[in-house]
Amino acid sequence: GAVVSQHPSRVICKSGTSVKIECRSLDFQATTMFWYRQFPKQSLMLMATSNEGSKATYEQGVEKDKFLINHASLTLSTLTVTSAHPEDSSFYICSGSGTPNTGELFFGEGSRLTVL
Amino acid sequence: GIQVEQSPPDLILQEGANSTLRCNFSDSVNNLQWFHQNPWGQLINLFYIPSGTKQNGRLSATTVATERYSLLYISSSQTTDSGVYFCAVEGSYNTDKLIFGTGTRLQVFP
């Protein structure tokens, strides 16, 4: 299977600061990656689809100015939570499909964000 | 959009028992995957199974796409099987998006 790596795995920040999470595809090129968010004891909710070289596509209800996504290369997508607040505390996880694209998605280790 | 429901929501087993987890979806799908989320949050790919039956050790899965459900079988459960099991589907009409089900939380006791 394809290997997806996220960094950092945990981050604690003060309210009002911005936090960047990196998602890398280690053994494949990802033209498309997906960002999910998971609150405690809940399922994973798709936030946005990250497209290499173009703007991300956000799901309904997700603020694009709050969650900035950049997919500048075929192996790196970043999610920046801007002006984070305690309600943004969550588990963020990215995914991509391997090469060749069989449709199966592989997920990173996830990043746990805590905003104080 | 497509709805994905899993049952049961919670399952408690003694080590060695067998179990069946169910995933119902509301529309036709191109892809379906089963995952195990471990206590650290990582999603482990179990099966990529848009149709048919697959087996991997003590685990097996069956998807009946025409009837819009999938089953995950766990035999001879072990304490390391504990965690949350998710199915996720890509709808035929909203492609490239994997939508997660509600999950089944499994606890296996020695």
Q: What is the pLDDT of residue B94?
A: 66
In this prediction, residues B71-83 reach a mean pLDDT of 97
Does the structure show a pLDDT above 70 at A15?
yes
Q: What is the pLDDT of residue A104?
A: 86
Instruction: Determine contact: A38 vs chain B, CB below 8 A.
Output: yes
- Report the length, in residues, of chain A: 116
* Beta bridge partner(s), residue A13: A115
Does the structure show a pLDDT above 80 at B51?
yes
- CB atoms under 10 Å from CB of A19, counted, come to 20
pLDDT tens column, A60-81? 999 999 999 999 888 999 999 9
Contact B45 A104 (CB under 8 A): yes
Contacts of B64 (CB under 8 A, 6+ apart): B51, B70
Query: Which residue has tokens 């089963």?
Result: B34
Mean pLDDT of chain A: 92
* Beta bridge partner(s), residue B84: B37, B105
pLDDT tier for residue A99 given thresholds of 50, 70 and 90: low
In this prediction, residues A25-44 reach a mean pLDDT of 92
Contacts of B74 (CB under 8 A, 6+ apart): B18, B19, B20, B21, B58, B59, B81, B106
Q: What is the pLDDT of residue A29?
A: 86
Which residues of chain B neighbour A43 with C-beta distances below 8 Å? 86, 100-103
Mean pLDDT of chain B: 95
Structure tokens at A69: 């996504």
Work out the minimum CA distance from B100 to partner chain A, whole angstroms. Answer: 6
Work out the minimum CA distance from B49 to partner chain A, whole angstroms. Answer: 9
In this prediction, residues B87-102 reach a mean pLDDT of 87
Does the structure show a pLDDT above 70 at B101?
yes
Q: What is the pLDDT of residue A98?
A: 65
Q: What is the pLDDT of residue B1?
A: 85
In this prediction, residues B21-49 reach a mean pLDDT of 95
Which among A37, A42, A43, A41 is positioned nearest to A69, based on CA atoms? A37
Peptide bond into A86 cis (omega under 30): no
pLDDT tens column, A44-59? 999 999 888 888 999 9
Does the structure show a pLDDT above 90 at A1?
no
Out of B43, B98, B102, the one facing A34 most closely (by C-beta) is B98
In this prediction, residues A94-104 reach a mean pLDDT of 79
Whole-number Cα distances in Å, B40 to A85, B81, B84: 23, 13, 11
Out of A95, A103, A106, the one facing B30 most closely (by C-beta) is A103
Which residues of chain A neighbour B10 with C-beta distances below 8 Å? none
Query: Which residue has tokens 């998605």?
Result: A105
Contact A38 B30 (CB under 8 A): no
